[in-house]
Copies of this chain bind each other. A is one copy, B any other.
Amino acid sequence: MAGRRSGRRPGPTETRDAILVAARELFAAKGYDGASVRGIARAAEVDPALVHHFFKGKEGLFVAAMEFPVDPAEIVPLIFMGPPGEIGERMVRTFLRVWGAPEFRDQMMALLRSAMTNDQATVVFREFVSSALVSRAAATLDIPRVRIEAAVAQMVGIVMLRYVLRIEPLASTPEEELVELIAPTIQRYLAP
C-alpha cells in the first residue's frame, strides 16, 4: 500500500483474480451501487486504477464478476430428471444447495441485491429468471408460466427471509426440515 514500488511485479500476475474475488464479495454484500471500486480495490489490496486497467471501469468489473460459475443450463435439468412426483423436493433441494455454497451464493446475492436498486441490474436479473429459469422449465413442463413463477417466487421469498433478512427461526431451520415444509407447495405449482 504505502511504500510500494511502482511498475510491474515479478512472477505471474494474480492481481486480476484477487480483484474478481473481492468484487464478488463486495457486490454480494452491498449490491452494485453500494459497492465502490475503491472499496473493492482496498479489499484486494490493490491500486484502484488497476481495476480500470483490467476491467475498463465498474460496469466491466461487475459483468466479469457475474460470469456464471453456476450455469443454469446444467443445474435446472437436474430438477426435471427423476420421478415427477418428486419435482418439488428436487427443486427445493437444488435451490438450497446452490444458495448454501458460498461462491454461488455470492453471485446470486450480488445479482439479487443489485437488482433491487439498480435498473440495469434489474434487467439482467429479470432476464436471468425469465430465460434461464422460467423458459427452461416451461419447455419441459407444459404448464402456464405463472405457475412456474409462483414456484420461483416461493423460493426467492425463502432466500430473502433466510439469507438476506435472516429472520428466525427460518434462518436456522435445517435444510431437510425446509424441504419437507416447502416441497409440497412447489409440487402443487409444477404438477397440477
Contact = CB atoms under 8 A, between A and B. Distances in A.
A113 B117 contact: yes
A78 to B, nearest CB: 21
B116 A167 contact: no
A17 interface: no
16 contacts: A30-B117, A33-B34, A115-B164, A115-B165, A116-B116, A116-B117, A129-B161, A144-B169, A149-B170, A152-B161, A153-B154, A155-B157, A156-B157, A156-B161, A184-B188, A185-B188
A188 B88 CA distance: 15
Given A153-B161, A167-B149, A188-B185, A117 B115 contact: no
Given A33-B33, A129-B161, A156-B161, A169 B149 contact: yes
A65 interface: no
A150 interface: yes
Nearest to A156: B157
A189 B183 CA distance: 12
Interface in A141-169: 144-147, 149-150, 152-158, 160-162, 164-169
Given A152-B161, A154-B185, 4 more contacts: A34-B117, A130-B167, A153-B162, A156-B161
Contact of A153 (B33, B116, B157, B177): B157
Task: Tell me how many chains of this kind the complex includes.
Answer: 2
A176 to B, nearest CB: 13
Grouping DSSP codes into helix (H, G, I), strand (E, B) and loop, the A interface class, with mixed when no group exceeds half, is helix
Nearest to A32: B117
A122 interface: yes
A112 interface: yes
A39 B162 CA distance: 33
B181 A147 contact: yes
